[in-house]
Structure 1
């Protein structure tokens, strides 16, 4: 059992650091490894570290905000919890994949409840988020609407004019991203391959290959583009069991 969970506090208000320190010390499951009142120092030191289980961070700080700081250190923590006195940052916190949002002043009971909920979700070893199973996208349907996309559920991604369509096992999500931008995210796993200038597919969801067509769930038939054939058939050859028998 992985305990205690390592924690870092980042808050430019010493009183807030003191309160959080006390809360962490009251929970045997947690261990405070460091605290910072200067977010710039925190950024430099955390980026040089091997990572931490929890970061509790204020948003409204001098020189660099918690939102901007999180973009630099998000891959160094398994659980990111924003602690702020302002509700106006909720959407930004959501966008950078914060795991929780504690509104100051919060009680120890509220803090403990939040931490216990996050601990129940198994915390994997910190590893550049390679094991991350989801991300968020802003949809085209309405302003400030975000959808969580589970990577194992993605069947294919299609580029359509100035947006992309993400096909999952349960939904079709339209978002204003480019295929290049989504490809960078999916490249963190080894389960996606581009087969056409307009399509990236999940190799986990391939049902069959017939000539230059890949069949996916939901009766999707994706053409293999000429430029992408060599890489795709190299993948196919690598994952095909071959017989040693003579015909």
Structure 2
């Protein structure tokens, strides 16, 4: 299933960047791009509804906030792309679904889209709510689908992260904080170190301050995270009422 997108920005360079980002996500297709917001408003008023609108706020003749009020009913998801934080409250008032601050990386763009696709009733299913995509470091346009239940651990390594699954190891240019936002949607994962998020389902053994995972992975429990981890461990430990 393809999701139709419209891009509205008076800066041609910004339009080019967003179009490039959209083209790198298999589910999205650019239906039309505009550098004239008034023209965009006229066309959308007469056209069919679309799935995504990416729109700047500071534009001549009509601002993105004013335009959004006119075309909000014509799009399922509205994403503001702006260099200014001062419009965040106004964006909330017009029911924007995302607020991307320029200049934003492809990683941030992809994470926002991933979240919106999974929040979208039109695409929420038993299967896709349990998977996500990442862009690998190996090739410019190579995306890998990963299932949550196959992820063993995620490690932060310098400027990228490594995702350990039951079948492979995948490198992607994201931060641990960025991907944690996606993994926080499920209760199956827990951060136990500043560089590691692990799957609770793959914990084999806990020995002192080390957690043993499949593939002989030994992950240290960081001081900052140990209280939350041991709290989880105690809640899930079967206790005996007998005296030793």
Normalising by structure 2, we get a TM-score of: 0.55
Equivalent position of 2:216 in the other structure: 219
| Pair 1:40-2:72 in alignment | yes
Equivalent position of 2:156 in the other structure: 159
Gaps of 5+ in 1: 1-8, 18-37, 47-66, 81-122
CA displacement at 1:39 relative to structure 2: 5.4
1:131-186 deviation digits (Å, cap 9, x = unpaired) = 81111111100111111111110000000001000000001000000000111100
Tell me the distance in 1 between the aligned counterparts of 2:211 and 2:191. Answer: 12
Number of matched pairs: 154
Paired residue secondary structure (2:241) = coil
Equivalent position of 1:136 in the other structure: 133
Q: 1:215 to 1:39 in 2, by over 3 A?
A: farther
> How is 1:79-118 mapped onto 2 (pairs within 5 angstroms)?
79=123
Equivalent position of 1:200 in the other structure: 197
| Equivalent residues of 1:43, 1:72 under 8 A apart | no
RMSD: 3.5
Tell me the distance in 2 between the aligned counterparts of 1:45 and 1:160. Answer: 33
Residue in structure 2 matching 1:233, options 219, 225, 230? 230
Equivalent position of 1:77 in the other structure: 121
Q: 1:147 to 1:241 in 2, by over 3 A?
A: same
The runs of 4+ residues in structure 1 deviating greater than 6 Å are: 13-17, 69-72
Paired residue secondary structure (1:41) = helix
